[in-house]
Amino acid sequence: MSEGIRHPFQTPPAEGEAVEVAPGVLWLRLPLPMALDHVNIYALDEGDGWTLVDAGLSTKRSKAIWERLLVGPLRGKPVKRVILTHHHPDHVGLAGWFQAMGAELLATRTAWLYARMLTLDVQDRPSPEALTFYRRAGLSEAELAKRTGERPFNFADVVDPLPLGFTRLEEGQTLRAGGRDWVVRIGHGHAPDHATLWSEDGLVLGGDQLLPGISANIGVYPTEPDADPLTEWLDSCRRFQAFARDDQLILPGHKLPFTGLPFRLPQMIENHESALVRLLDLLALPRVAVDCFPALFKREIGPAEHGLALVEAVAHLNCLLRRGLVSRSLSTDGAWEWERR
C-alpha cells in the first residue's frame, strides 16, 4: 500500500542558490510573474560541465539569476546540454540562450516544433481563429471586443529565439546524464510529447507531468479546438502507474520534490474524474464553457486565472463529448451550448 505523499526537502532553494537533492543533482528555482511564482530547474553534474533540465522564462531577472548561479552553485563550469521536458514558456524560455552559448538542446520532436513555431508566430492582435474559439466558449460581446483590441500573449515575449538544431528524445530511449542512465517516458495532456526521465536508482525528473498537490493545467487552444487532452492525460497517468514506486524521489517542475508516486497518480486521475461528474450534473441544462467554472473549480475564478480556467473547461467538455455523454449545438450568438445526453 502506498505511504502517501512526503516531501523530503521542505525548504526550496533561495534565489541564486541551489539544494543538492541527490549526488550530482542540484535543485534550482527561477521566478515566474504569476500566481504559480516559480519553476524548478535541475542541474546534473557531468564533471566538466552541466546538463540542465528546463531553463525558465526569458526575462532580465532570470538571466541575472542565471549569471549568479553559473558562477556560484555551478562553479563556473559550462552548461553543455539542456533537456527540455515540454514546450511551455516557463520551461523553454532560456533554452535558446544556452544554445547560443554552445549548449546542445534535447527535446521531443513535438516539443521542439511547438516551441519554435510559437516563438516565430508573433501577433499584434488575436487571429480570427482565436476570436472564433473565444466566441464558441461563450465570451460576451464586450469581452470579445476587448480582446480584439489588445495584443495577445506571444511566446516571443518571454522565450529567446531557438536556433535550428536539436537532439530528439523518444519513448523508451536510455539517456546518460549526470552519471546516471535515465529512461525517457513520454506523457501527454498537459503538453504534447512531454518528456519524463526515470533512473534505476529512484530519481524521476517529472516536469509538469508529475506534480504534487496541484493539478497541471489541461487545456484546449485555438490551434486544435476539438482536441481531447484530458483523455490523453488520464491515459498517461494510468500508464505511468506501472513504473511508480514509493521509494522514488520525484523532481517536479513546480512545488517540492516528493515521494509517493503510487499514491499521487490515482489521486491525479480521481481529481479529473470527479470534476467530470460534477460537470455532467451541471449540464442537465444547456451551458456554455464559461458557465462551467464553478462546477469544475469549486471556487471563484479571477481575471488573472480566467484564461487557464477557460481552456481547461473546454478540455473537460471535449472529454465528455468524446465519451458520448454530452452533445453540443451552436447558439444564435455563435457559442457552443453543451448539454447532457
pLDDT tens for 131-161 read: 999 999 999 999 999 999 999 999 999 999 9
pLDDT tens for 99-125 read: 999 999 999 999 999 999 999 999 999
pLDDT tens for 314-333 read: 999 999 999 999 999 999 99
Q: Which residues contact 50 (CB under 8 A, 6 or more apart)?
A: 43, 44, 74, 77, 78, 79, 80, 81
The whole-number average pLDDT for the span 207-222 is 95
- Domain annotation for the chain: domains and CATH numbers: 19-123+155-276 (3.60.15.10)
Q: What is the pLDDT of residue 1?
A: 44
